[in-house]
Structures are given as C-alpha cells and as structure tokens.
Chains A and B, each alone.
Chain A
Amino acid sequence: MRGGLSLRPTYYEALRRLTLQLAGVQMGSDHAFLVETRLSQLARKEGYETLDAMIEDLFAVGQARLAVHVVSALVERDTHFNRDPASLDALFDTALPDLVEKRGGGRIDLLSYGCGSGQDLYSIAIRARHAAARAMLAPVDLHLKGVDYPSQALERARTGRYTHFEIQRGLSARDMIAHFTPDPVADSTDWLAAAHLRETVKFQDMHLLSGTQEAEAFHVVLFRGAIGQYGHAARIRVIRTLAKLLRPHGYLVTGSDEDLGEIHPGLEKVESAPGLYRRRVVQQEPAPVIGKPPPGRTTFEPPVARRAHG
C-alpha cells in the first residue's frame, strides 16, 4: 500500500492550486508524501473508501466544506510544546510586563492566529502559571484564544488531547504530570489537558486569509513560524489582518528568526526582543493606494488640518 504514491499527478497540481487560492499557502513539490499520508487519514475520517474517491468527489462536486478540510490538513504544520522558546521569552519578558504596566493589570487578551493543534497556547498557559507562581508577573487575567481553519488539528486543540509522542515533545515531565492526565480509557496512550488548563484557553475555527468579521481586538497576537509559507500577496494580506487585530500598544509575536521585512503596516520592530513587533500608536494605518491618489490631495496633511485652513 505504501509502495508508491497513488494519486494522479494532475490531482497534485489541482490540490496545489486549491491550497494557494484558499489559504494563500504555496505548497512545495516535496509535499507529495504529506498529501498522501494526511489526506488518507482525512479520507478515512470522512468515510471514503479510498483517497482517490475523496479527491474525485472534491473536484467533481466541489463541496466547500470538504475543500476547507482538505486544505487545512495540507497546510497543518508539525508543532510541539514550547516551540521557539526565544520568542516565548520575548512575550513573557518584554510584551506582557509592558502591557501589565501600561494597563495597571486587568484582562489581557491573546490570540494565536493559526493555532493548529494548540500546543503554543497550552504552553503559554503553563508558562503564565509558572510566572505567576514565581511572582514575576503580577496576577494577570490572561485570556487565551486560538483560531485556525476547521480541521482535525483544531479539534485536538479543543479537546486538549495529545498522543504519547506529542506530549513528550517540548513538555517537561514535571509540566506533563502537573497539567495533563493519562487518558483513562484502556489501551489509549493519549494524555488529556487538565481542567484548570482547558478553562484558560478557547479555540474557534476561522478562515485565516479572510480574516475575522468580528470587531474583536487583542493585546497580543501570536503568529509564529508560518509567514514563510505564504506567497507574497497573501503575506501582505495576513500581516494587514494581524495589525488590525491589535489594540493600541498591542504586540505581534512572530518566530524569533522571522522578519516581516518591509511589509508591516502600523507595526514597529521591538529591538532586543527577537520576533516581537509593537503596534505603532500615533500613526494610523495608511489606506492602500490604488491607482492615482484622490484628487485635491497634494500633501499628506490630515484632513482636519486642511479644514482648519478653509
């Protein structure tokens, strides 16, 4: 069954186009194996006899729901607990203390954008408890929310269920037994997030490229290790969406080795904190200039100032 890749080459091409259209993600040609293993799993779960049957159905019938599930299975990234600790240090040593000080405590909302199977968010919840226990962070009402495409990964995040392998990647034995319990079901080797951990996190499905319709805003938005997979146009769109999700004084946490380059509307890099960006407070996000500038505007003076003259 594993002998070779069974899917027709034209389907790969079609899947690649679909992934780019729907998620803005550029799938490499090395994805063939990933396509087979991940989509085979999905096909079984969706009740198809074979992977081919599901793909045929996908392109023949064009179900939107199935398309989203296929694409989110394809773009899911392998992750683990406490991934990229340097960027979590930036969050805990720079961003959160600053927000706590500016706001004088109170509620802080953090969004994990593209949360996948949720390890980032649970890692932050655990780290926040450590920080509070060591009194390094004033008692802070940290609300954690993760959004991603509807997928099996997001379902796992919601239930806080991790396999024997996942639970041991990046999580210390002490944290594992303090915040997770072995699945009581016989023969299962999964671990389940304890109630005290689960009640601090919330997960919701969302189409990442379309952004959110809600007028929600966050003090911190986490977007780590994903920027590289977006094509240029999608990248601009995503960063714009992220900047809009931030409250004044809010922080964007990217991977410690990631750089948004020149495309960061309304964001400024925080020096000395790898991967950390702060929302510019004074400057408003400029409207995108399409074609010619509006007539009558020859300077960049704000409209209020011009009215004062007239």
Chain B
Amino acid sequence: MAHCCLIVDRSAMVRRVAARIVRELDFEITEAQTGREALDSCAAQVPHVVLLDWKSADMEAQGFIESLRDLASRQGVSMPTVLFCTAERSVDRIVAALKAGADEYIMKPFDSDIITAKFALAGLLSRDRTCAAA
C-alpha cells in the first residue's frame, strides 16, 4: 500500500515540483494551499508525511503541529513526520521550527537530491509504513 504525503504550499509550481519528486519516492500525494486547508485534509485522513511551507501555513508552526497531533490521536494513528520546507534560512527560524516539533527542515530552493536526503534522514525511506486511514 502506498504511503501518503501532504504537500502544503501556496505556490502551485512548488507543489507540482515537490509532488513529482516525492512521488518518485513512492508516496501518494495530496496537496493543500494553506494551513487551514491542510488541517481540513488531515481531519479526513492523517498522512504519514507533511511537507509544509510554513509561510503558507497562515498560522504559527507550533499551533499547526499541535492541531495535527490532536487529529492524529483522535484518529488513533501515529503523528505524521513533519518536514518544514521554506525559503527561510536563519538559524533562529530553524531552531524555532525544530523546537515546535518539525522532524526536518528543508531550505528552498530544493532539488530531488535534497528531498531524498531529508526523507532518508527522517527515516521515511524504509518500506514499512502504510497509509493510516486508507
């Protein structure tokens, strides 16, 4: 069964590029433009991975991750792996993201090598996960 990855980004172009790369890693893709839309999508089905541009999330990183954790526990599934993916490269922001609960942090622009490397670091490339609510 395929693994699920939710890509959250305001830019359709970024979503398209990211989706193409992540699909290559054998994930099924869902997309959202904003944090609100992402949480709505998660309310229906919590994915395994969330690739999140936090600027698009229109809410604080901390708040988003807490809502996500609530949804996961309500559905009785494990918390998704959250990878932040933003153009922000200041150390303070990266520290804040990791503190808020992000598993990994990707600085834009990215390429397939970076996404693959970060997925590997987050332990996502071992083939033992299946879609929670599929």
Chain A interface, DSSP helix/strand/loop, else mixed: mixed
Does A169 sit at the interface, judged by CB under 8 A? Answer: yes
Could you say which residues of chain B place their CB within 8 Å of the CB of A165? 111, 113-114
From A31-39, A171-179, A263-271, A302-310, give the one contacting chain B.
A171-179
Does A105 sit at the interface, judged by CB under 8 A? Answer: no
Could you say which residues of chain B place their CB within 8 Å of the CB of A80? 113, 117
- State the CA gap A189–B110 with chains docked (Å): 13
Please indicate which of the listed interface residues B97, B107, B111 has the most CB atoms of chain A within 10 Å of its own CB. B107
Contact call B105/A182, Cβ cutoff below 8 A: no
- State the CA gap A224–B25 with chains docked (Å): 26
- Determine how close the nearest CB of chain A comes to the CB of B6; give it in whole angstroms: 20
Q: Kindly identify, within residues 132 to 177 of chain A, every residue whose CB is under 8 Å from any CB belonging to chain B.
A: 164-165, 168-170, 172-174, 176-177
Does B79 sit at the interface, judged by CB under 8 A? Answer: no
Contact call B113/A177, Cβ cutoff below 8 A: no
Contact call B94/A170, Cβ cutoff below 8 A: no
Per-position 1/0 for A73-94, Cβ under 8 A of B: 0000000100000000000000
Q: Kindly identify, within residues 95 to 121 of chain B, every residue whose CB is under 8 Å from any CB belonging to chain A.
A: 95, 97-98, 102, 104-107, 109-111, 113-114, 117-118, 121
A173 partner, pick from B105, B109, B110, beta carbons under 8 A: B105
Chain A: CB-nearest residue to B104: A173
A168 partner, pick from B90, B98, B110, beta carbons under 8 A: B110
Could you say which residues of chain A place their CB within 8 Å of the CB of B95? 177
Does B16 sit at the interface, judged by CB under 8 A? Answer: no
Contact call A168/B91, Cβ cutoff below 8 A: no
Per-position 1/0 for A165-200, Cβ under 8 A of B: 100111011101100011000000100000000000
Per-position 1/0 for B68-96, Cβ under 8 A of A: 00000000000000000000011100110
Chain B: CB-nearest residue to A180: B91
Contact call A168/B94, Cβ cutoff below 8 A: no
B94 partner, pick from A164, A169, A177, A189, beta carbons under 8 A: A177
Could you say which residues of chain B place their CB within 8 Å of the CB of A177? 91, 94-95
Contact call A169/B89, Cβ cutoff below 8 A: no
- State the CA gap A40–B95 with chains docked (Å): 39
- State the CA gap A165–B102 with chains docked (Å): 20
Chain B: CB-nearest residue to A189: B89
- State the CA gap A174–B102 with chains docked (Å): 11
Could you say which residues of chain A place their CB within 8 Å of the CB of B90? 182
Contact call B121/A182, Cβ cutoff below 8 A: no
Contact call B91/A169, Cβ cutoff below 8 A: no
Ordered by A's residue number, 19 sampled pairs between the chains whose C-beta atoms are within 8 Å are A80-B117, A164-B107, A164-B109, A168-B106, A168-B110, A168-B117, A169-B113, A169-B114, A169-B117, A170-B117, A170-B121, A172-B104, A172-B121, A173-B104, A173-B105, A177-B94, A177-B95, A182-B89, A182-B90
Taking A165-B114, A168-B106, A168-B107 as known contacts, 17 extra A-B pairs with beta carbons closer than 8 A to each other, sorted by chain A number, are A80-B113, A165-B111, A165-B113, A168-B114, A168-B117, A168-B118, A169-B114, A169-B117, A170-B121, A173-B105, A173-B106, A174-B98, A177-B94, A181-B91, A182-B90, A182-B91, A189-B89
